[in-house]
Amino acid sequence: MSIYDTLNKEQKQAVATVSGPLLLLAGAGSGKTRVLTHRIAYLIDQMGVSPWNILAITFTNKAAGEMRERVDRLVGFGADQIWVSTFHSACMRILRRHIDRLGYDNGFTIYDTDDQKVVMKDVLKRLEIDPKAYKERTLLSAISSAKDKLIGVREYEREAAGDYGRAVYARVYREYQETLRRNNALDFDDIIVKTVELFQSCPEVLASYQERFRYIMVDEYQDTNAAQFELVRLLADQYRNLCVVGDDDQSIYRFRGADIRNILDFEQHFPEAQVIKLEQNYRSTQSILDAANAVIQNNTGRKEKALWTDRGAGSRIRFRQFDNAYEEAEFIADDILSSVRREGARYKDCAVLYRTNAQSRLLEERMILGGIPYNVVGGTNFYARMEIKDILAYLKTIDNGRDEVAVRRVVNIPKRGIGPATMEKLEDYAQLHDISLYEAMRQAQDIMGMGKAAAKIRPFVQLVEDLRRQAGQLTVAELIKEVVERTGYEAYLQEYDDESAEDRISNVDELLAKAVSYQESHEEPSLTEFLEEVALVAEIDNVDGGDDRVLLLTLHSAKGLEFPKVYLAGMEDGLFPSFLSIASESPEDVEEERRLAYVGITRAMDDLTLTCARMRMVRGETQYNPVSRFVREIPEALLDHAPSGGKPQGGTFSIDREPSGLPFGERADARPKALSRPRTTPAADKPFIARGIGSLNQLAGISKGAYASAPSEPDYGEGDRVSHVKYGEGKVLKMEREPRDYKVTVLFDRAGQKVMYASFAKLKRV
């Protein structure tokens, strides 16, 4: 039997359509990766195309790894010549060979988010811009957005002419880019932008890659931004054998710069393009797919399609509404336990998806109380941990001495007595002589006024120079061991925090394991390539499918994953969709949220549960939200309980409303006019109103009249020392009286600055 006999009609058509542009509209769970890998095999086996001439691009390392494995199994000999990689990995390979044509050294460094913040902080200092007036995060976001759209510094400056606020952004953008160039560094956006710049400025380089990649396939095309679109367009312009695969209904990364118009307007950019729809789903039951179809058809900016399956209808979707978020979390935890103990499910079969990271706290607490093993996607990334960043900064300094961020990070780790005044002299000298900070350190003895400080710098420079000489003879793992041993890093961790030292040392050991794994999987391993691979690791790539644990993650993080049992928590208007999207004048904002709901629903294979709460504490304030419109868009026949009206059943309640027709605690004048629709309160619901609000107050420990009474004054004030059960001791910096509570700003000795409400913080005066 041929390997192509396992494909359905539309999949076979997509595999055999190899000439010219092709738009493959692949619905959720429709087997798009299977189609892409079989298409590659078809090109080689049936069309005689050389593996050397094929490029397949996707977005995450995880997806690229899965595709690589499947291609290797299908193609066999010659599969290693096919480029199967992420956008960033492919561009990195190109830049490592040719970036010198743009004025960079080929051994450039990649800056992560933390590195970018360090650079931005220095930029604001040099330009004498108040960081309170212009936030680092806002400036970095604006620069990233400009790069996504291929707007360079000069164009940004032209557009900002005459606008003082934008002119400040333009000055910062220019200084930020010049700093990166001096440091021989790129940020993540630059990896794509500089590759496009290389192709535009060096036609011979572009021509060589156009000739190399005669057949190009791009996965998750709906997530591409303007820079990625231009990169693909340039590469495909010669032979135009471009196959893009995606689903406009799953375009959920607009906040990262993704442009849904790239997929919606594909036929305008490539008029000769063929379009094939993959609508047969192999993942979910028909009830789940019918719910997803019903929700997404309310969007206007989409290409018409409807998912179907031959798996059967399956069970109805469960809907549960609770008095508060505590009960919601308790139900989810108890239901998972019941599934495992009574139905034989595994913990890893279950996933809890939510709109915001803040929702995970209550869920985690209930998991812990129930003894349920779980993992949270979106916690501290392994490579963002202090000890890992320290070791990597040493490796970056050894590999690229021009990386000032890395040099600054480790010059005093462990402590060498090199203070801010010394660093300022070194930075001034480096700027004056147009050299790197590390090079200035090498010349410290020649700097006027350096004095005894030069002797403190010398051991650091000697250490780096010694390790550089050894780097050529040592493996990456051996070099890490050498860094740890020569710096006395384990002793430094013990001194830094004895309680966490063991865990931190274990993390360094895990980095060693990563280095060994890297060496074993690469024919010609190098320090530069190792640092590059580490820098490109994405959060979701760290999800270990082998752990028998419940997964807690945001809806954005869940894309590309699937689970037998899915819980969508917090299905409330005001939370999902968010209040800002509801209040927005642009319908696109709610449509993006609806696509996110579609993604969440289609993660479920067999069982889907939707939950919401009448009352939820958000940023210390109590909110009362109606059931999400996305739940109400699902036909009642698909749900085991109706989302509104009717007699309460089990854990499900109708929405309690005030006489105004609005949920409890919500004033009509506090809502946008578009949302203030009069509603009537069914007579059957009225008895539950008094009972519902009473039970909420009792659960939250709120006495009658507490909402109207003034907050009680804490027994501490500004300047006092206080202690917190989690954060330890600190100093009260600021106290603000609000209608229901006091907002307190505390600078904790170890945890840093926190803002909290007095009644919840339970601070005690020391």
Asked if 479 and 511 count as a contact pair (C-beta separation under 8 A), the reply is no
Catalytic residue status for 280: no
Short-list 704, 702, 730, CA closest to 718: 730
Residues 6+ apart with CB under 8 A from 464: 397, 398, 401, 438
Residues 6+ apart with CB under 8 A from 6: none
Catalytic residue status for 603: yes
Per-position b or e across 298-335, b if 16+ CB within 10 A of its CB: ebeebeebebebebeebebbbbbbbbbbbbbbbbbbeb
Neighbours of 558 (CB within 10 A): 25
Residue 84 forms beta bridges with which residues?
A: 56
Tell me which of 10, 175, 187, 220 is the catalytic residue.
220
For residue 739, is the peptide bond before it cis, meaning its omega torsion is within 30 degrees of 0?
no
Residues 6+ apart with CB under 8 A from 586: none
Tell me which of 565, 603, 614, 629 is the catalytic residue.
603
User: What SS3 string covers 292-325?
Assistant: HHHHHCCCCCCCCCCCECCCCCCCCEEEEEEEEH
Neighbours of 158 (CB within 10 A): 10
Q: Which residue type sits at 411? A: V
Catalytic residue status for 177: no
Catalytic residue status for 431: no
Tell me which of 33, 58, 60, 222 is the catalytic residue.
33
Catalytic residue status for 219: yes
Short-list 104, 180, 118, 114, CA closest to 147: 180
Tell me which of 10, 112, 175, 219 is the catalytic residue.
219
Neighbours of 416 (CB within 10 A): 16
Q: What angle do CA 221, 224, 225 make, to 5 degrees?
A: 155
Per-position b or e across 659-668, b if 16+ CB within 10 A of its CB: eeebbbbbee
State the pairing for strand pair 728-737/742-748. Answer: antiparallel
What whole-number distance in Å separates Cα of residue 325 and Cα of residue 120? Answer: 39
Catalytic residue status for 154: no
Tell me which of 224, 250, 309, 422 is the catalytic residue.
250
Asked if 558 and 603 count as a contact pair (C-beta separation under 8 A), the reply is yes
Short-list 388, 381, 383, CA closest to 540: 381
Q: Is residue 642 classed as helix, strand or coil in its secondary structure?
A: coil
Q: Is residue 383 classed as helix, strand or coil in its secondary structure?
A: helix
Q: Name the residues annotated as catalytic.
A: 32-33, 219-220, 250, 603
